[in-house]
Amino acid sequence: MYKIGEIAKQAGVTTRTLRYYEQLGLVSPDEITPNGYRYYNDRALDITKRIKNLQHVGLSLDEIKDVIGLYFQQKKELEAKEKTVGYLQLHLEQINSKISLLEKAREEIQEQISLTQELMSKLKSKKNG
């Protein structure tokens, strides 16, 4: 059993984040003592680490909530991975779209810089000539 600070440290999150995960129903303590101390088991540690990993690859907490429970059911692990891949593919499409827009913006800015520099060069030539 882990206290909230221990599990947070091992999972690489803050205690505040862990409490937030609790509020969302993503993870829960195994025991809460009468004086309010939270104790977690190894499964909660594994879940918290998985949540952090899924966030790292771009899943939102809503998406994670949709798949996290499946990861810890042997018969549903494949389903969890399939759903996760679906979410990741969607995120990849969104990223590729943003990259395309940014590349176009970069080209337009580079073109504007070149045109402005040409104009400045012409103005300098007229001023000196």
Q: Which CATH architecture has domain 2-128?
A: Orthogonal Bundle (1.10)
* 16-39 per-residue burial string, b: 16 or more CB within 10 A, e: under 16: ebbeebbeeebbebeeeeeeeebb
pTM above 0.75, yes or no: no
What span, in angstroms and rounded, lies between the C-alpha atoms of 122 and 42?
Answer: 71
CB-based contact 96:102 (threshold 8 Å): no
Residue 23's pLDDT band, with cuts at 50, 70 and 90, is very high
Say yes or no to pLDDT of 129 above 70: no
If you search the block for the tokens 């060069």, which residue do you land on?
Answer: 121
Q: Break the chain into its structural domains and give their ranges.
A: 2-128
Instruction: Quick: pLDDT tens for 97-107.
Output: 999 999 999 99
